Amino acid sequence: MCDYQKCKHWGGNQDYTSTRNKRKTHLCCDMAEVEDTLKRIQGYNGVIGSIVVNAEGIPIRTTLDNSTTVQYVGLLHQLTMKARSTIRDIDPQNDLTFLRIRSKKHEIMVAPDKEFLMIVIQSPTE
């Protein structure tokens, strides 16, 4: 991980960002952190696949094959929008933070954001 001056990327023309955690970190280290996080999530017990999508429906990152990814994205995006509008209709101050769909075979977890969407499919520990 980055600690800016202590990081191995220090020196040279490395870009940095200073917003995250109010500490300066290299851009490349940021990316590495993101990679690590995603890899860690994928590595958890029972996780079948994970997908990161942007607002237009383009899968940025996915561990499943294209057709499955596209199917999940299309369907879950609509569902998330519907869930969010439901929450907000009931109470406009409220907002959707997480969506979990439990089915016979596995659980689909959706973490929504204004621009992106993270979908993780995990099967129960048995």
Partner 1 sequence: MEIVYVYTKKRSEFGRQCNFSDRPAELHVDILPDPSLAANFTVRDPCNVTMQCAEEMSEHEVNTERFESESRGINHVEGGWPKDLNPEDMEATIRYRKKVEKDEHYQNTIMQIAGLMEHCSKQNNATDIYQDFFDDEVEEEVVEESEEEPSAKTINVFRDPNEVKRTATSLSWHPDGNHKLAVAYSSLEFQKAPNDMSFDSYIWDIENHNKPEMTLKPVCPLVCLEYNPKDSHILVGGSYNGQIAYWDTRKGSQPVEMSTIEHSHRDPVYKVIWLQSKTGMDIFSASTDGQVLWWDIRKLSEPTERLVLDPSKKWNLDNALGAISLEFETTMPTKFMVGTEQGLVVSCNRKAKTPAEKIVCTYSGHHGPIYALQRNPFFPKNFLTVADWTARIWSEDIKESSIMWTKYHMAHLLDGCWSPVRPSVFFTVKMDGTLDVWDILFKQNDPTLSLKVCDEALYSIRVQDNGRYLGCGSQLGTTTLLEISSGLCTLQKNEKALVSEMFERETKREKILESRHREMRLKERSRSEQSREDEAKDADGEESTEELVARAETEFFHMLEAEKTKERNEEKERDMEKGVCEEKDFQEEHETNGVVASFTRGEISL
Which positions touch partner 1 (CB under 8 A)? Answer: 17, 19-20, 27, 30-31, 33-34, 37-38, 40-41, 44-47, 52-54, 56-61, 70-71, 73-74, 97-98, 100, 102, 107, 109, 111-113, 115-116, 118, 120, 122, 124-126
Residue closer to partner 1, measured from CB, 89 or 126:
126
> Shortest gap between Cβ of 116 and partner 1 (angstroms)?
5
| Residue 5 C-alpha from the chain's centroid | 29
User: Structure tokens of 1?
Assistant: 């991980």
Q: How far apart are CA 48 and CA 16, in angstroms?
A: 34
> Shortest gap between Cβ of 13 and partner 1 (angstroms)?
15
User: Structure tokens of 107?
Assistant: 């659980």
Residue closer to partner 1, measured from CB, 6 or 104:
104
For the four alpha carbons of 126, 35, 111 and 74, in that order, the dihedral sign comes to: negative
Q: Are 24 and 18 in contact (CB under 8 A)?
A: yes
> Shortest gap between Cβ of 8 and partner 1 (angstroms)?
19
Q: Are 29 and 91 in contact (CB under 8 A)?
A: no
> Shortest gap between Cβ of 51 and partner 1 (angstroms)?
11
Is 62 strand, coil or helix? strand
Residue closer to partner 1, measured from CB, 54 or 86:
54
Residue closer to partner 1, measured from CB, 56 or 91:
56
